[in-house]
Structure 1
């Protein structure tokens, strides 16, 4: 009587690889399922109400992330995550028509505390009247160029250079100077003091240019003496930071992070 065939080494290897592949697929599916069951951000109404979120945070199951949102403990804050949190606070109907800017953008980049109200920029080419009733937001009608906006976490955000320029020009010194220091201190933001000074000097017909330079002088008095600098090649940038970057031949952020 013939004895049963013994599995070859090749067959055993194939079986092992097949089993490992199935195990890996199962683990990936489990991780994907966990990610779907436990999203990174929780806001009132999806799937928990505000008091339930507060209770979960009190029990240590969630951590307070921003004014109206929570996240799982241990998840590091990142610009992408902050942008997603800000996007959740912007009405869906206008989310693709506005740009998070000024101190809201500074918070997204990790250079300022979360502001009480979202600062949203609206390009002057768009109609602003239909957005006037937006709650919890401050709208600013501005002129934006292609280099002034990036896509981050599902939200359009003013680029680091445009953010620094707007903060220097339009935000009071108590909040502006720390935020500018944070933006200038982070090399990944690609905001250089020399470029920012040039951008301010090159901005036409803005009444706050002198005050903006004085804010920068608080950070680098030797570089910005008496809040004024000489511009060798003055420009008249109709599209904001874009033309300043082109004149100075500085590559700047314009893609999704």
Structure 2
């Protein structure tokens, strides 16, 4: 175990079967591709470190629902989703295996958590609002908005950062619905979200 990370990954020292046995005994909890002690805090850094074995290097950025899980406001994804910069030059078979979308991404839209690159919370919310079509995306967006204190004006400014950004109209509608959602899951005053719909 790396002293700076609570994540235990299968290695020559501890095999995957030994780690799974410890989890069955109640000593460890599975997290991503690794395990963590039951009394260790589960931080964004720990969740990101648990995904490291699946990634090639820092050119591959954990994104979408996987990033929401890393930041602590989404459930663990069934499959890790990633993105790569268009300029990254990652071979197509690796991109397909990693479910990596090629995107335009600036350095300030990704954060390094140890050796793992993750989209920032703001970029994660925007990507989910633009691309995720699952039924529960509005609740997921609302959780991210609450967790990071985003405002309608701040998100609108981020949406207009790039001139050729796709799927902005559905993103605005989903974000407006997320702002209208109350913490208990019921729909609140839709007027709070109006600025996103009128632009």
2:43 aligned residue: 78
Q: Which whole-Å CA distance do the structure 1 matches of 2:52 and 2:149 have between them?
A: 24
Q: Which whole-Å CA distance do the structure 2 matches of 1:88 and 1:139 have between them?
A: 15
Is the contact made by 1:173 and 1:215 (CA closer than 8 Å) also made in structure 2? no
1:138 aligns with 2:104: no
Distance 1:109 1:120, change over 3 A: same
1:222 aligns with 2:191: yes
Q: Which whole-Å CA distance do the structure 2 matches of 1:168 and 1:147 have between them?
A: 19
SS of structure 1 residue aligned to 2:94: coil
Larger radius of gyration, structure 1 or 2?
A: 1
**How many angstroms does 1:143 deviate by?**
0.8
Q: Which whole-Å CA distance do the structure 2 matches of 1:162 and 1:135 have between them?
A: 22
| Runs of 5+ consecutive residues of structure 1 not aligned to the other structure | 1-34, 231-257
Is the contact made by 1:64 and 1:71 (CA closer than 8 Å) also made in structure 2? yes
Distance 1:213 1:122, change over 3 A: same
Is the contact made by 1:100 and 1:120 (CA closer than 8 Å) also made in structure 2? yes
2:109 aligned residue: 148
1:69 aligned residue: 34
Distance 1:46 1:216, change over 3 A: farther
1:159 aligns with 2:120: yes
Is the contact made by 1:213 and 1:224 (CA closer than 8 Å) also made in structure 2? no
* TM-score, scaled relative to structure 1: 0.64
| 1:171-186 correspondence runs (5 A) | 171-186=132-147
* TM-score, scaled relative to structure 2: 0.81
1:55 aligns with 2:55: no
For the aligned residue pairs, the C-alpha RMSD in angstroms reads 2.5
Distance 1:222 1:126, change over 3 A: same
Q: Which whole-Å CA distance do the structure 2 matches of 1:36 and 1:218 have between them?
A: 42
